[in-house]
Amino acid sequence: MLTVTLLVCGLVAVARTLDDSVEEDPCEKYSTDSWIRLHGRSYLFVPANLTWAEAEKNCRSMQANLVSVHNADENEFINDLIIIFTHSSPRTWIGGSDCQQDNLWLWSDGTDFTFSLWSPGQPDNLNGQEACIQINPGEISQWDDTSCSDLLPSICAKTCKTR
């Protein structure tokens, strides 16, 4: 846990580095100590319990989207952020949904859905009512489809300008 805490503290320090470019960097416009920058993206844990759509709208108000996850390392990083900010493991929204077509999963930021880490037996679209993805932090750190009207915290992310 100490290693993870030091990693996040280091990331906060990196996030505070100023961008010398003239173009506005979306990662700087809404920058606070809560945004964590890593590998060209900034991440924010939002503790408010919102529906998936409300969480996405909230992220967009900060020039971000609900987080898309592209590999196991990023999934682990997101899991660690949730645990660090909450000191627990609440179910948390990420940016995937299949609202447009059952079993055609898309990220709200428009990136390709090429990685997934579903819990065993998921997605199952229980009762035809589960179209949004939650991450289940903790030991398994895997995903589950659930009702988009559930009230959960969320993770926002945005791509930063390259330096």
Structurally, how many domains does the chain consist of?
1
Q: How confident is the model at residue 8 (pLDDT cuts 50, 70, 90)?
A: very low
Bridge partners, 135 (sequence order): 92, 143
Q: What is the CATH number of the domain that holds 122?
A: 3.10.100.10
> Does residue 130 contact residue 145 with C-beta atoms inside 8 Å?
yes
**Residue 150 belongs to domain spanning:** 2-159
* Six token digits for residue 15: 């996030």
Among 16-20, 106-110, 123-127, the minimum mean pLDDT is found in 16-20
- Cα separation of 8 and 39, whole Å? 13
Distance CA 76, CA 12 (A): 17
| Predicted confidence (pLDDT) per residue in 67-97, tens digit | 999 999 999 999 999 999 999 989 999 999 9
What are 132's strand-pairing partners?
A: 97, 146
Report how far residue 153's alpha carbon sits from residue 55's, in angstroms, rounded to the nearest whole number: 8
pLDDT at residue 22 tops 60 = no
d(CA 34, CA 147): 28
pLDDT at 23 over 90: no
Q: Please tell me the predicted confidence (pLDDT) of residue 32.
A: 60
